């Protein structure tokens, strides 16, 4: 287990499943939107509240949990007058998850002619569609993979 993750207050829904454990840590709507916004340079409590519209008490709880679980860390702002939140390496590792959710949403959550935001690279081009690959670089999917369960 990553030493950055503090598990004192977590009850795992399925202790051997990485998907269940990840959802226990970051799987609710507000948490994922906070992570999304942190990736889009939100830093302060006010930034997160204005971008998400989440109630202050819920935001306080989610930010605390993200800090406790090593996804965000608190730093003193350049002004020295307030705290800001920045992604840790573990938080930055969620980028692929956010991109996958975004790409799924682009394909399945909007009508063909419905406007939506776009994530582009530094050149202004859309990202290529994510595809899981095996150790030889061949695409894999639900029909070509198997979960090995722990004993």
Higher pLDDT, 4 or 45: 45
Of the candidates 133, 58, 121, 44, the one whose C-alpha atom is nearest the C-alpha of residue 86 is 44
Given a contact cutoff of 8 angstroms between Cβ atoms, the answer to whether 14 and 21 are in contact is yes
Residue 13 pLDDT level (bands cut at 50, 70, 90): confident
Query: Please, what's the b/e burial string for 124-148 (b: 16 or more CB within 10 A of its CB; e: otherwise)?
Result: eeeeeeeeeeeeeeeeeeeeeeeee
Q: What is the pTM of this model?
A: 0.86
Nearest Cα to 119, choosing from 1, 44, 39, 58? 39
What is the share, in percent, of the chain residues with pLDDT greater than 70? 92
- Domains annotated on the chain, with CATH: 18-108 (1.10.10.10)
Greater confidence (15 vs 60) lies with: 60
């Amino acid at each position: 287990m990553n030493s950055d993750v503090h598990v004192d207050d977590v009850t795992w829904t399925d202790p051997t499943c990485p998907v269940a454990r990840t959802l226990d840590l970051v799987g609710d709507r507000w948490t994922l939107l906070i992570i999304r916004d942190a990736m889009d340079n939100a830093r302060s409590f006010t930034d997160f509240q204005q971008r998400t519209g989440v109630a202050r008490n819920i935001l306080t709880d989610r930010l605390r949990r993200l800090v406790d679980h090593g996804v965000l860390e608190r730093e003193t702002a350049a002004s020295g007058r307030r705290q800001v939140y920045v992604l840790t390496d573990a938080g930055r590792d969620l980028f692929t998850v956010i991109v996958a959710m975004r790409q799924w949403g682009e394909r399945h959550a909007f009508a063909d002619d419905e406007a939506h935001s776009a994530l582009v690279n530094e050149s202004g081009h859309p990202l290529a569609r994510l595809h899981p690959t095996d150790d030889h670089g061949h695409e894999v999917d639900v029909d070509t993979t198997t979960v090995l369960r722990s004993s």
